[in-house]
Amino acid sequence: MNGKDFLLIRDFSPSEIQYLLVLGRQVKADPTAFSNSLRRQTLAMIFEKPSLRTRVSFDVGIQQLGGFSLYLSPAEINLGKRESVYDVAKNLERMVQGIMIRTFDHEVVVQMARYASIPVINGLTDYVHPCQAMADYLTIWEAQGNLEGLKIAFVGDGNNVARSLMFAGAQLGAQVWLATPPGYELDAESVQWACDRGGETGGTCTLTNDPEEAASGADVIYTDVWASMGQEAEAEKRRHIFLPYQVDGTLFRRAKRDAIFLHCLPAHRGEEVTNEVIDSPRSLVFQQAENRLHAQKAIMLELMKGEFVKLPGLLELQELMHV
């Protein structure tokens, strides 16, 4: 994967996604072993959307690997207006060794990757949130001990987080259920891809409008805000539509006794999730947030590794982690 871009989880093979997760666990278990792996390399971080977890995890992550970060705000670039995506890409490829971009339109990230000769990492678009999904499955793996065959229920809006959760689940052999209000389902093309890949890995993808059906017997219940960035004008309308999809104690108790609760954060407490659930012992939202750091360090290591850095292979990593 050295030199490749990380735009969509579906761009990779199941074994490559598994490798990144195993590498993330090893990075978390022994961070000092990788502390000089990206020595003197610089990651440009382009933010068209604000973020707490994305900024801190990439900023701290590249530094912990021996490199540097450069934060570029909307005012400094204003992609497509002050300067074209092409010109930004061609400038940055001559000065830094990697680009992380967090923006609205997925096509902007696609263009950045097309024009830049250095690795581009998708920090979030309106279409997908692949780094979040890697942290999600790293957390699920830690908590449940495996991924294959687990029932993972996403309850709420069929958004970018749900789509990446579905893509990653299909790669890893999970049974992903998506419970959304009518009209808020994921698009048919994304679902079809997940079903096709699941046919190879043993994973499944099930869409429903019934949150109780999705939560019943689940190993994981996951939710997200009802109105994402850019949808603020719809927030009040969505509150009424999504209220039956709130993850409260009653819904959560339909899951398995050892089920965990996940949320990509920030959470709107009292809307998509109640305090009873998000503050419960079964809630791993802060472990999940921390795992953004470890999952993204694995991605940067694999994509940006220097010429003389040799990372262990999948079998070697699995032996180290006893998996």
Active-site pick, 163, 224, 246, 294: 224
Active-site pick, 132, 171, 246, 288: 132
Active-site pick, 129, 238, 263, 294: 129
d(CA 45, CA 316): 32
Q: Is 39 a catalytic residue?
A: no
Q: Is 53 a catalytic residue?
A: no
Question: Count of CB atoms within 10 A of residue 132's CB?
Answer: 27
Burial code of 145-158, b = ≥16 C-beta within 10 A, e = fewer?
eebeebbbbbbbbb
Q: Which among 278, 283, 274, 266 is positioned nearest to 228, based on CA atoms?
A: 266
Rounded to 5°, angle at Cα 25 from 21 and 27: 110
- 55 phi and psi, to 5 degrees? -65, -50
Q: Which two tokens stand for residue 140?
A: 């699920």
Q: Is 292 a catalytic residue?
A: yes
Active-site pick, 10, 263, 292, 294: 292
d(CA 215, CA 252): 7
Residue 278, class by beta-carbon neighbours within 10 Å (0-12 exposed, 13-18 middle, 19+ buried)? buried
Q: Is 240 a catalytic residue?
A: no
Active-site pick, 131, 264, 294, 296: 264
**273 in Cβ contact with 247 (< 8 Å):** yes
Q: Which among 180, 248, 239 is positioned nearest to 213, based on CA atoms?
A: 180
Q: Is 263 a catalytic residue?
A: no
Active-site pick, 25, 102, 163, 294: 102
Distance of CA 79 to the CA centre of its chain: 23
d(CA 256, CA 253): 7
Q: What letter would DSSP give residue 5?
A: -
Lookup result for tokens 């598994």: 18
Catalytic residues: 102, 129, 132, 224, 264, 292
